[in-house]
């Protein structure tokens, strides 16, 4: 691989809790050990959006596509959050000198500026096969040849608390008022909502909005175990009880939060769904869509209460990809209709949410 002969790189290793070791190279500035949950994404593009997606907080992200960085990194206005959220990255090969009209810097320059470790020269497809066999495992990137004695489990941390906004922020000035609960919201979700005549009030994960005046409630994506979002679930339960006429729409973690709020259960998937080519089917129309996904937990279909139904299913493993109440007022999907990166097939769900708000209003 081209970068292996470059003097700014040195040998390093990925250790998995399951016992495997993968050799590679890290930039010369990196020292020490970085641990986290090792996950893979099958996307062929969109690495700046993936790395800045708060849903990857606490994770070491392996890119299965063999060549990364070929179009550099654009300025922060295109990112999903103000910084890289993944703890580290694993790639086979990186283009050191990209040329693209929109690039602000090269991928490796960006990673170094944000002090995010990257392990290069890894057979990422072999690693993905291991993860597919074992399921998601804990791991560590280290400049030392000896495996660490302990692997930190980020899912025991309240990751949503780490990535949620600290203060209320308002976007737009339209007549329809939407509360957006920020559990790690992607900026492209806000961009999609602002295509409609709305005012979006972005609030922290533990913000009590139940006494406020709003026309729609949005539950965002985010990282980690949804069961740890006790405050978010409790406040949503109160909103559903006291303002049942207000439409609710959730994405990714928001789907799990909604599920837990209606007393369904969630569980951890073997290796999650991450990538831009994940097929789902609408259970009502039997129409299939290609979607962008990034989650490690799902709603248990057998625990949905009376009055709720499965609206979408994942075609790869038949897991729940969306839920809704029988009246069609409240709904959530496990995938990302805002894409970025990914297909825009299910983008119409935003328009449906706005129409539900208008009808209810």
Name the 3-class secondary structure at 173: coil
- Give the Cα separation of 215 and 359 in Å (integer): 10
Task: Tell me how far the alpha carbon of residue 11 is from its chain's centroid.
Answer: 30
Q: Is 252 a catalytic residue?
A: yes
- Give the Cα separation of 297 and 46 in Å (integer): 22
Q: Which two tokens stand for residue 350?
A: 């935003």
Q: Which two tokens stand for residue 92?
A: 């086979």
Residue among 57, 62, 229, 252 flagged as catalytic: 252
Residues 6+ apart with CB under 8 A from 148: 15, 33, 35, 140, 142
Determine how β-strand 330-333 pairs with β-strand 320-325. Answer: antiparallel
Alpha helices in the chain (DSSP H): 47-51, 107-113, 124-134, 159-163, 187-193, 230-242, 253-261, 348-360
Q: Which two tokens stand for residue 296?
A: 């490690």
- Give the Cα separation of 81 and 325 in Å (integer): 31
Tell me how far apart the 2 most distant CA atoms of the chain are, in Å: 64
Long-range pairs for 310-319 at CB < 8 Å and ≥24 separation?
A: 310/283, 311/282, 311/283, 311/284, 312/280, 312/281, 312/282, 312/283, 313/280, 313/281, 313/283, 314/273, 314/278, 314/279, 314/280, 315/279, 315/280, 315/281, 315/288, 316/273, 316/278, 316/279, 319/269, 319/273
State the catalytic residues: 252
């Amino acid at each position: 691989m081209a970068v292996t002969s470059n003097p700014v790189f040195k040998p390093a290793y990925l250790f998995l809790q399951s016992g495997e070791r993968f050799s590679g190279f890290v930039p010369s500035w990196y020292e020490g050990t970085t641990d986290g949950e090792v996950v893979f994404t099958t996307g062929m593009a969109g690495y700046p959006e993936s790395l800045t997606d708060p849903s990857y907080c606490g994770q070491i992200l392996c890119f299965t596509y063999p060549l990364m960085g070929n179009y550099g990194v654009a300025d922060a206005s295109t990112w999903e959050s103000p910084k890289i959220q993944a703890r580290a990255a694993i790639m086979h090969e990186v283009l050191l000198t990209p040329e693209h009209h929109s690039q602000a810097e090269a991928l490796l320059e960006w990673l170094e500026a944000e002090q995010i470790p990257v392990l290069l020269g890894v057979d990422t497809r072999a690693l993905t096969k291991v993860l597919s066999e074992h399921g998601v495992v804990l791991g560590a990137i280290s400049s030392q040849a000896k495996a660490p004695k302990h692997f930190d489990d980020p899912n025991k941390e309240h990751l949503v608390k780490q990535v949620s906004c600290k203060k209320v922020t308002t976007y737009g000035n339209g007549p329809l008022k939407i509360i957006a609960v920020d559990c790690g919201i992607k900026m492209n979700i806000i961009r999609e909502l602002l295509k409609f005549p709305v005012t979006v009030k972005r609030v922290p994960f533990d913000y009590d909005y139940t006494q406020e005046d709003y026309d729609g409630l949005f539950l965002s994506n985010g990282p980690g175990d949804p069961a740890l979002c006790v405050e978010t679930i409790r406040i949503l339960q109160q909103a559903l009880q006291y303002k049942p006429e207000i439409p609710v729409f959730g994405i990714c973690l928001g789907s799990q939060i909604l599920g837990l709020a209606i007393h369904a259960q969630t569980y951890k998937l073997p290796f999650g769904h991450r990538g831009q080519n994940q097929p789902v089917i609408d259970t009502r129309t039997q129409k299939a869509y290609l979607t962008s996904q990034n989650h490690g937990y799902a709603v248990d279909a057998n625990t949905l209460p009376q009055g709720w139904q499965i609206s979408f299913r994942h075609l790869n493993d038949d897991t729940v990809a969306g839920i809704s109440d029988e009246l069609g007022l409240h709904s959530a999907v496990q995938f990302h209709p805002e894409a970025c990166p990914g297909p825009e097939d299910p983008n119409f769900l935003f328009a449906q949410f706005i129409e539900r708000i208008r009808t209810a209003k």
